Amino acid sequence: QVQFVESGGGLVQPGGSRRLSCAASGIIFTMGWYRQAPGKQRELVAAIRSGGSTNYADSVKGRFTISRDTPKNTVYLQMNSLKPEDTAVYYCNTDPPLARWGKGTLVTVSS
């Protein structure tokens, strides 16, 4: 069964940047980064297909960039111009997601 291990979260000031990493234990064709803010449902923020095409939620478009290193089964999320509303636990999974989720990594955007 595929497992996901997210890393790279932390405390960031508004306007700052952060890079998240996700290691997957198996070969995945379409990968996504999701986030869940306090009191809100989990949402897909970015996805990347095996061919490299990407799509983004409107709220992060132009600020976040998803990329992948296929031989390493690793997916990244470069987050720039971070806002307090980006504060959330970030998860990776397939798109659409598998039932099993990793622990996620917490990103807190605050001054």
Digit-coded pLDDT (tens) for 37-73: 999 999 999 999 988 999 999 999 999 999 999 888 8
Structure-derived torsion over alpha carbons of residues 5, 8, 9, 14, reported in degrees to the nearest 10: -150
Work out the mean pLDDT of the chain and round it to a whole number: 95
DSSP assignment letter at 14: T
Look at residue 70 and give its three-state secondary structure: helix
| For the chain, percent of residues with pLDDT exceeding 70 | 99
* Per-residue pLDDT tens digits for 63-98: 999 999 988 889 999 999 999 999 999 999 999 999
Query: Closest by alpha carbon to 82, among 55, 105, 111, 56?
Result: 111
Q: Which residue has the tokens 């095996």?
A: 50
